[in-house]
Amino acid sequence: MQTRSRKYISVLLTLLMMAGVIAAAPVVARAADHSVVIAGTDTVAQIQTNIQNKIDAAASGDTVTITGSKTGVAALLALTIPAGKKVIWKATYTGSNRTLITFYGKGTFEIAQGGTISTTGIGNMICNNDPNEKVTFVVSGGTLSVSGDGGTAICGDSGDVIVTGGTVEATGEYGYAIYSYTNITVSGGMVQATGADGRALDACEANVTISGGTVKATGDYGQAIKTTSGSVTVSGGTVQASDGDAIYSDSGDVTVSGGTVTTAGAGYEAIFTNGNVKISGGMVKATGAGGNAIYVGSGVAAYLAGTCTGGFFVNSGLIVEVDTLAVPAARDGASTGLTVKKGTGTAAWDCTGAKPVINFTIGTATKTMEWGDYYTAPPAKGIFGTNAKWYGAWWHYLLFFLGFGFIWMWF
């Protein structure tokens, strides 16, 4: 009887504790969602008024969701999205106008699953209109497509462009899927240019980061990624060109730690830059005749053995193959594991800092590049042939089961 009473008391105490936790939990305010449905009979002026009224009425943190359908658009839709507000586009909106939608403000415009914006025009399909304003473009689903020659699907201009899903494409000659003066990030979805001389991404002086998805140029002479001085970082996903350079940068640094960067074009490069190149993972391939995996004009490049397929080219630069990412500190001052593949110069380790560094020497010039980490010996073996980490975890499991058994016997 005493044991049963203890059980009832324990259950009651548990319920009271749970009620206290629930009562003490903070109430999280949910952002309001304002909706606009576009009708096919609406004029662009009516659509603009309806959407802008909802945006103006929304509080900071709110979203305005657009659904419905309008085809045959031949006029400009202009929207102002203030900072802290977001417009989520799930509508179908197609036409032939040079620019379909232009933006002001510092908020966010997102095209989501179910949304479609397309034009046969030759201008910037959606774009920021004020270089001092920074509307951020997000593509999480749906489709953005421009088919006119010289057309651009997204012109970020002064706002970042973030692609996590969906499709952004330019299918005309000299078409750009995304053109931006500010950073472009792709973690999913598809960004492609299919016409001749097209570019999937052009970030000018800004930076490009690829961690997933696919960025590709399939037309003749097309480039998947182009920057002038901006850096390109690839940690996942696929970057590919069928008949052009996969990554082309005038002077920006290129870093590849995962994913695939490939070109199939004859005489083209998987990576072309006058900056520096570091490849510590993934795969970089040039499969066309006379193609190069890495082209560095005056920069330096280091790649992990087994990550590059194709030729190498330098003007006054240096390309080195590295045997490992785990560098023994004893290599300090030596060239062990560093093999010059292209160029005239030397490379040696500096293992005196927090991370290993490769020192490149080309004539009287020197350049440095941080590489990998220091080699650490595996932990000593414990009893039963296991290492110390598992040995400690074994005692944790034992204590857990002993404690569980004690509680079971008590009740």
Residue 410 resides in a domain: yes
pLDDT at residue 16 in the model = 42
Identify the DSSP state of 330. Answer: G
Asked if residue 407 is part of any domain, the answer here is: yes
In a domain, 395, yes or no: yes
Any domain includes 95: no
> Which of 381, 372, 277, 360 lies closest to 329 in space, CA to CA?
372
What does R_g of the chain's alpha carbons equal in angstroms? Answer: 28
Angle at 292 between CA 288 and CA 297, to 5 degrees: 150
Rounded to 5 degrees, φ, ψ at 366 are: -130, 145
Would residue 399 count as lying in a domain? yes
Q: What is the structure's pLDDT at 130?
A: 78
**Parent domain of 399:** 386-411
Question: Contacts for 69-72 with beta carbons within 8 Å, 24 or more apart?
Answer: 69/38, 69/40, 69/93, 70/38, 70/39, 70/40, 70/42, 70/44, 70/94, 71/40, 71/95, 72/96
Q: Domain for residue 175, yes or no? A: no
Q: Is 48 exposed, middle or buried (0-12, 13-18, 19+ CB in 10 A)?
A: middle
> Is 408 part of any domain?
yes
Predicted confidence pLDDT, tens digits, the chain (411 residues):
444 444 444 444 444 444 444 444 454 445 667 999 999 999 999 999 999 999 999 999 999 999 999 999 999 999 999 999 999 999 999 999 889 999 999 999 999 999 999 999 888 999 988 777 789 999 999 999 999 999 999 998 778 999 999 999 999 999 999 999 899 999 999 999 999 999 999 998 999 999 999 999 999 999 999 999 999 999 999 999 999 999 999 999 999 999 999 999 999 999 999 999 999 999 999 999 999 999 999 999 999 999 999 999 999 999 999 999 999 999 999 999 999 999 999 999 999 999 999 999 999 999 999 999 999 988 766 555 545 444 445 545 555 555 555 555 555
Domain count of the fold of the chain: 1
Number of neighbours of residue 309 by Cβ within 10 angstroms: 14
Structural domain contains residue 396: yes
